[in-house]
Amino acid sequence: MTTYPLHTRDADTTRDAATARTVTSTRDGADSLNRSALQMESVVLTYPDGEGRVTAVDDVSLSVERGRSLAVTGPSGSGKSSLLAVAATLTTPDSGQVWLNTPDTRVDLARVDRRRAAELRRSEIGIVFQQANLIESLTAREQLEAMAWLGGRPSRSARADVRRRADHLLDVVGLGHAAERSVGALSGGQRQRVAVARALMGQPSLLLADEPTSALDSESGAAVMDLLIGTAREEGVALMLITHDAGIADRADARIHLVDGAVV
Ligand code: ADP
Ligand code: MG
């Protein structure tokens, strides 16, 4: 079981720390409390802007349960990517809490150090960006296997498990037949499917996708979206999905709309 040092800076966090102790002490307690894999509370993020600061995320609260999807829509510059970067541990918010509930632990992503954040991105948080960012010379299977090597060189039996999981996920995304093909030879839609499978390799609790289909034609884009939403449901992963396409947002279980960094 993974535990994380609990902070007790003020009354609020003391309450949260008490909850965290309950979660880690009993499995049943964890299951009931962990249904929301992601809980953001009053998150504010600003960037330096000349003499002052620009508010990119303005007091946003939201939660996403396991197996459910939340679509985030909003015009360009409304703070969608900033919000996702906070949930991804890629940006630290100015204030607010970002609770990640996994089967093993409850942790405030706004307060983890870089090393722990990197660990969580390997094991609990899968991320799919606009571009698939694959290594062209690897096969689809190797692309997925490489994820498991990031945490250190796996043993021979672990390698067999990794290969089985990679092949399972390639089946899930409809690319079982393409496991041995180099990704350079795949279509845009297929590459993004590999990126989805790669994001699921660590069996994450949370899957984050930032306009993952904006580089695709509408047909393969819709197929990738259906895949993301369906896979989240089947694998019990919480999905936060950014899109500017209202039709796609309608397929998610819930939806928020951002304007100037705030939920409207
Ligand atoms: P969206 O993804 O909805 O287009 P972003 O989160 O990228 O919105 O941007 C929200 C606001 O924050 C915008 O005003 C943008 O210009 C600003 N912004 C985003 N990233 C940075 C950054 N690294 N430095 C300064 N300002 C930024
Ligand atoms: Mg964006």
- Give the atom of ligand 1 at the shortest distance from the alpha carbon of 85: 6
Cα 9 to middle of ligand 2, angstroms = 33
- The predicted model gives 78-99 an average pLDDT of 97
Cα 242 to middle of ligand 1, angstroms = 14
* Element spanning 127, H or E: strand 125-128
Q: What is the pTM of this model?
A: 0.84
pLDDT score of 132:
85
Cα 237 to middle of ligand 2, angstroms = 22
Cα 192 to middle of ligand 2, angstroms = 17
Pocket test for ligand 1, best of 43, 45, 47 (most atoms within 8 A of CB): 47
- Which ligand has an atom closest to residue 258 CA? 1
pLDDT score of 95:
98
- The predicted model gives 51-79 an average pLDDT of 96
Cα 243 to middle of ligand 1, angstroms = 15
Distances 108 to 138, 141, 153, 262 between C-alpha atoms, Å: 35, 33, 29, 21
Our answer on whether the CB atom of 80 is closer than 6 Å to any ligand 1 atom is yes
pLDDT score of 255:
96
**Closest Cα to atom 5 of ligand 1:** 79
Tell me, what DSSP letter sits at residue 133?
-
Are 183 and 143 in contact by the 8 Å Cβ rule? The answer is yes
* Element spanning 68, H or E: none
Percent of the chain with pLDDT over 70: 87
The hierarchical CATH code for the domain 6-124+204-263 is 3.40.50.300
Give the pLDDT band of residue 13 (cuts 50, 70, 90): very low
pLDDT tens-digit readout, 192-236: 999 999 999 988 999 999 998 888 888 888 888 888 999 899 889
Residue 98 has which token pair? 């970002």
Tell me, what DSSP letter sits at residue 67?
T
Q: Which residue type does 32 have?
A: S
Our answer on whether the CB atom of 77 is closer than 6 Å to any ligand 1 atom is yes
Widest pairwise Cα distance in the chain: 56
- Residue 18: is its pLDDT beyond 50? no
**Residues whose beta carbons lie less than 5 angstroms from ion ligand 2:** 80-81
- The predicted model gives 135-159 an average pLDDT of 86
What are the boundaries of each domain within the chain? 6-124+204-263
pLDDT score of 11:
39
pLDDT score of 140:
96
- Which ligand has an atom closest to residue 86 CA? 1
Give the pLDDT band of residue 28 (cuts 50, 70, 90): very low
Give the pLDDT band of residue 2 (cuts 50, 70, 90): very low
